[in-house]
Structure 1
Amino acid sequence: MNRRDLLASLSATGLFGALSLPAAGLAGTSSTNLEGSLSDVWEAWRDANMDATGRVIDRLQKTSSHSEGQAYGMLLAAMMGDRATFERLDAWTRLNLAIRQDALMAWRWLPDAPVRVPDLNNASDGDLFRAWALLRAARRFDAPEYRTAAEAIVLDLVRSCIVHRPGADPLLLPAARGFETEAGVLYNPCYAMPLAMQELAAEFNQPVLAAAARGAVELARQLALDGVVPDWVEVTPQALGPAQGFSFDAGYEAMRVPLYLIWSGLGDHPAVLRFAEAQSRVPPGLAATRLSRGSGEALTTSAEPGYRAIAALATCSASQEIGSRIPPFSPSAPYYPATLQLFALIAQAEALPTCVPL
């Protein structure tokens, strides 16, 4: 699909109009089926990226650990029914990152630094996914204490990380501090996971979190009018523009935007179609890991299966084909693309059953 065809299809189908999220809890693959189909992949991910204490290790980032990585691991363990691993992940996280005065986590832990947690600021995507993981674990393992912990996180996210906007839905800030400017806010579109936000909002009666999910979906729609959704954007009452000091291309962070939209049941969202169209121009066997915001030109590419999995999932979603080119999982892949691939496989199973890997 070329750019002209893409824009014509967007206009014809009315996707540039208002979007609404589907009901929480997609009617997709059950947890039991996920376990059966992805158990080997989950075990390979766990063995490659987590140590015996429950720490998820990002070997390309000075063997550090991040709140997002711990939360991703907890969610995967809960979805795979692996209670022992979930408990190790949860215990390490509570001891080393959940050390703030509120229920949120510090965003990074450095194993070789004199002070292992030099910055107590949080990262809202890590907290969001941890709350989601705890809620899923509470249901899966019949453990009400996990639900209580999830609720405390949600309340503090709503209290500290939601910015209200006159005449528009609120947004989820990247952290509790440091992302508000004189003109507006610095916003990262991939920090919002609509399905997680909606599920938590419904469970804990937090309509403002559901409104922030709508705000994220709408903002991604607005950004897709002018190109691929970037890593960062400054949001002001007047405009959406580059965030000074941050990437305005669609790089490693923004790859999660189409993934989360598809997983949330929004596979026909304009941001997914923009991303798919740009990826369709990349040579076979590669995925673009950095796309020019305006032209969609591939600035960097990678053969990592995790990045190719997102490109293949988005392409299948946009083309409405039967079967996708999601590659086999590689146990030797670094933590980040390996995690994205496992998420892509779950999103495919839950939200796009027709895009089964071929």
Structure 2
Amino acid sequence: MSLRKSTSTKGVGRLFGRSLLSLALLVPLAAKAAEGCSVQNWPLWKNYAERFVQKDGRMLGSSMDPNQSSSEGQSYGMFFALIANDPETFDALWRWTRDNMAGANIAQNLPGWLWGPTPAGTWGIIDRNSASDADLWFAYSLLEADRLWKKPGYRADAQRILDNVQKTLIRDIPGLGKMLLPGPVGYEHPDQLWRFNASYTPIPLLRRFSKELPSSPWKEVAESTAKMVADKNMNRFGFVPDWVGYRGTDVNKGMFVVDKFTNALGSYDAIRTYLWAGLTSPADPLAKPMLDNLDGMAQSTASTGVPPEKVQVLTGATEGVGPYGFSASLVPYLRAKGLPLLADQQLRLVDQAIAHFTDPADPAYQQHQYYHVMLSLFALGWSENRYQFNKDGTVKVSWEAACASKP
């Protein structure tokens, strides 16, 4: 900025002084805005990422082996990095996934679900079968990363994933409607039998895909998911199984049946169905019907103070004590069902467990606990108002306003 030649030296001094004062007043505001728009201080995610996310973007650990990596873990990590406003970690997780699990060609290949040491002594994909729940979380996180961070390349990748999923994994099931197969192999049988998993299709994600692609089948998949949860052939006591079968009985008819591989057990997969129901926006037309059909877990937890580890959904019989990840999953669900005291009780159990997991002096620190920490991150992030899902499936993050107002 230049001054007019007619301005006196004294005038210049006054102007310069006022400019310094204005700058001094603006610095704290700018610093505050920058702080609000920086990587968020999320201690649990920071602790986990520092310990288990490598510099190249591979997340160590799966539910099976801490040396392995799963597409589920990579996709969850991307969502948490988005919530933490950490684009560097997000990008590393996605690049590693795309290059190693999808053969660097996401348009052609859905990510194989498991990567690690192979029987041949090398490192690579152990199982190329994709897991469609991870595919959905990848696509969702990429869409929202573009919306929040203005990264159109992410949106293009998300659309490639969704196009691939729609072409290969969506089926029109007789008497049910459009539905998502859990993966390309092993879930569709020649005798009109399909296998499904209610925890693979969170309603907020399906709403976001419908917003992105209005003519897509995702709205119908959401409605079919709600039918699956409510079906009284399987849901007799307000519980859902890990896996459920569906048999076509005619061209336009069918019925849910017991999954022949896992029977009628509800446990480590099913617990996420309660979590997703609790996280769904209360303004969503499917939120209340879903919650109304999931009374069993709330009643069981209220009677014992802890969720059961296993449920026989056809009899309502429960077994064991659910680990802290189960308690975490129920916090949003119990709040959504109007049971805040019971939710607070579960939250205390989670806080106690997490304190052990994050303390280097505690023996529990050496235990990987992948799945329970992931479930806790979903639940605690929501409880701490770090994120909420909107009716249209977009995510409302705590840092969005600060970044929108950043100079």
Quick one: structure 1 residues 148 and 60, their matched pair in 2 at CA, closer, same or farther if it must change by over 3 Å? closer
1:293 pairs, out of 313, 317, 336, with 313
Once residues 71 and 218 of structure 2 are traced to their aligned partners in structure 1, the CA distance between those partners, rounded to angstroms, is 20
Once residues 297 and 92 of structure 1 are traced to their aligned partners in structure 2, the CA distance between those partners, rounded to angstroms, is 43
Following TM superposition, by how much is the alpha carbon of 1:207 offset from its aligned partner in structure 2, in angstroms?
2.8
Q: Count residues in correspondence.
A: 317
Matched, 1:158 2:162: no
Q: How does 1:89-238 map to 2 (within 5 A)?
A: 89-99=93-103, 102-114=108-120, 116-181=124-189, 182-222=191-231, 223-237=234-248, 238=254
Secondary structure of the corresponding residue to residue 61 of structure 2: coil
Q: Could you tell me whether the CA contact under 8 Å between 1:151 and 1:204 is conserved in 2? A: no
Q: Could you tell me whether the CA contact under 8 Å between 2:236 and 2:313 is conserved in 1? A: no
- Equivalent position of 1:339 in the other structure: 374
Quick one: structure 1 residues 34 and 324, their matched pair in 2 at CA, closer, same or farther if it must change by over 3 Å? farther
Question: Considering only aligned residues, what root-mean-square deviation do their CA atoms show, in Å?
Answer: 2.6
Quick one: structure 1 residues 35 and 57, their matched pair in 2 at CA, closer, same or farther if it must change by over 3 Å? same
- Equivalent position of 2:32 in the other structure: none
Following TM superposition, by how much is the alpha carbon of 1:294 offset from its aligned partner in structure 2, in angstroms?
2.7
Following TM superposition, by how much is the alpha carbon of 1:196 offset from its aligned partner in structure 2, in angstroms?
0.6
Once residues 188 and 325 of structure 2 are traced to their aligned partners in structure 1, the CA distance between those partners, rounded to angstroms, is 33
1:251 pairs, out of 255, 258, 267, with 267
Following TM superposition, by how much is the alpha carbon of 1:156 offset from its aligned partner in structure 2, in angstroms?
0.9
Matched, 1:64 2:84: no
Q: Could you tell me whether the CA contact under 8 Å between 1:313 and 1:324 is conserved in 2? A: no
Once residues 337 and 198 of structure 2 are traced to their aligned partners in structure 1, the CA distance between those partners, rounded to angstroms, is 20
Following TM superposition, by how much is the alpha carbon of 1:176 offset from its aligned partner in structure 2, in angstroms?
1.9
- Equivalent position of 2:333 in the other structure: 314
- Detail structure 1 runs of 4+ shifted over 4 Å in the superposition: 32-36
Following TM superposition, by how much is the alpha carbon of 1:96 offset from its aligned partner in structure 2, in angstroms?
1.1
Once residues 33 and 249 of structure 1 are traced to their aligned partners in structure 2, the CA distance between those partners, rounded to angstroms, is 44
Q: Could you tell me whether the CA contact under 8 Å between 2:310 and 2:318 is conserved in 1? A: yes
**One-letter amino acid of the structure 1 residue matched with residue 78 of structure 2:** M
* TM-score using structure 1 length: 0.80
Once residues 59 and 209 of structure 1 are traced to their aligned partners in structure 2, the CA distance between those partners, rounded to angstroms, is 28
Q: Could you tell me whether the CA contact under 8 Å between 1:68 and 1:125 is conserved in 2? A: yes
- Equivalent position of 2:12 in the other structure: none
* TM-score using structure 2 length: 0.71
Quick one: structure 1 residues 123 and 138, their matched pair in 2 at CA, closer, same or farther if it must change by over 3 Å? same
Following TM superposition, by how much is the alpha carbon of 1:273 offset from its aligned partner in structure 2, in angstroms?
2.1
Matched, 1:86 2:90: yes
Following TM superposition, by how much is the alpha carbon of 1:271 offset from its aligned partner in structure 2, in angstroms?
4.0
Once residues 269 and 69 of structure 1 are traced to their aligned partners in structure 2, the CA distance between those partners, rounded to angstroms, is 26
**One-letter amino acid of the structure 1 residue matched with residue 88 of structure 2:** A
Q: Which runs of 5+ in 1 are unaligned?
A: 1-31, 353-358
Q: Which runs of 5+ in 2 are unaligned?
A: 1-35, 249-253, 282-286, 359-364, 391-407
**One-letter amino acid of the structure 1 residue matched with residue 129 of structure 2:** N
Higher relative contact order (CA 8 A, sep 6+): 1
Counting aligned pairs with the same residue, the percent is 24
